[in-house]
Amino acid sequence: MAQPLLKITNLHAEIAEDGTEILRGVDLELNEGQIHAIMGPNGSGKSTLSKVIAGHPAYEVTDGDILYRGESILGLQPDERARAGVFLAFQYPVEIPGVSVANFMRTALNAKRGEEVDIFDFQDELEARMGMLEMDPAFAARSVNDGFSGGEKKRNEILQLAMLEPLLAVMDETDSGLDIDALRIVTGGINRIKSERPEMAVLLITHYQRMLNYITPDVVHVMVEGRIARSGGAELALELEERGYDWLREEAGAV
């Protein structure tokens, strides 16, 4: 087997502003095409891990490394990581007033591909992808995430995932704030994209097991206090659903 797509070793990271350590030695390997879920209690560092992978400037890596396709990406800017194929679906997608979804998407796609995308091809593709996610075509003219409902914001994230065709999709609590219909559409979109591009690896960060009813992970990790405390198959998620996180916390504390 070739090298893993993503290899995280002994990753330590802190909040740049005040030096609070959040990640305390994360180890993780994700192969091309795999789906891994990271679960864990609030405050365990799941979201921080996703932001550190994407290169958020609020965090500073103090030790360890993130290898993507065999090379460290710690020295890369967030946009360089994105162009290399790393995608982060935000837990709280950011509003960009005055910039339409279409303009935003086209600018992103031009940057990704390194060339001007044909405007008609682009519109066709955007419309088709929006259709898949059951989005109103008028959506394209609205300002990015500005006044969107929670469900619309998450669908917009999946739309970007579909358009930008990353190799690694990090989904940060994409299920949070979704009702059951929106969850079905969003997870359906992810599965559809995954079936079109089986080589894409997915790192699903979620607090609850319910998303895993729709997307079946190859591996489930549980993060506690800034480390991966336990890894297992899909059945681990069910166990967590039954037993909660406390027993793992106690185990981690005992170490």
Amino acid at 4: P
Of the residues 3, 77, 149, 216, which one makes contact with other proteins according to CB under 8 A: 77
Nearer to other proteins, 67 or 96 (CB): 96
Q: How far apart are the first and last CA of the chain?
A: 33
Q: Residue 18 and residue 110: Cα distance in Å, rounded?
A: 37
Stretch that binds other proteins, among 9-17, 31-39, 79-87, 116-124 (CB under 8 A): 79-87
How far apart are CB 164 and other proteins at their closest, in Å? 7
Site string for other proteins, 5-44 (x = CB under 8 A): ----------------------------------------
Nearest distance in Å: CB 54, other proteins: 5
Report the residue from 18, 19, 42, 98 that binds other proteins according to the rule CB under 8 A.
98
Phi and psi for 87 in degrees, rounded to 5?
Answer: -125, 135
**E strands, 69-218, in order:** 71-72, 86-89, 96-100, 143-144, 168-172, 201-205
Tokens in use for 119? Answer: 């405007």
Q: Is residue 74 a contact point for other proteins (CB under 8 A)?
A: no
- If one asks whether residue 56 binds other proteins (CB under 8 A), the answer comes out as yes
The beta strands (E) that lie in 101-237 are given as 143-144, 168-172, 201-205, 219-224, 227-232
26, 30, 88, 212: which one binds other proteins (CB under 8 A): 88
Question: In terms of CB distance, is 158 or 248 closer to other proteins?
Answer: 158
Does the footprint of other proteins cover residue 96 (CB under 8 A)? yes
Cα R_g (the chain), whole angstroms: 18
Tell me the window of 65-73, 109-117, 220-228, 229-237 that interacts with other proteins (CB under 8 A): 109-117
CA angle 110, 113, 117 (to 5 degrees): 45
Q: Which stretch binds other proteins (CB under 8 A): 108-116, 117-125, 191-199, 214-222?
A: 108-116
Q: How many CA atoms lie within 13 A of 222 on its CB side?
A: 27
**Strand order, beta sheet including 21-30:** 21-30, 6-15, 59-68, 71-72
Q: Choose which of 12, 112, 155, 227 interacts with other proteins (CB under 8 A).
A: 112
Which residue ranges make up the site for other proteins (CB under 8 A)?
A: 54-58, 77-79, 81-83, 87-88, 90, 93-99, 103-104, 107-109, 111-112, 143, 160, 164
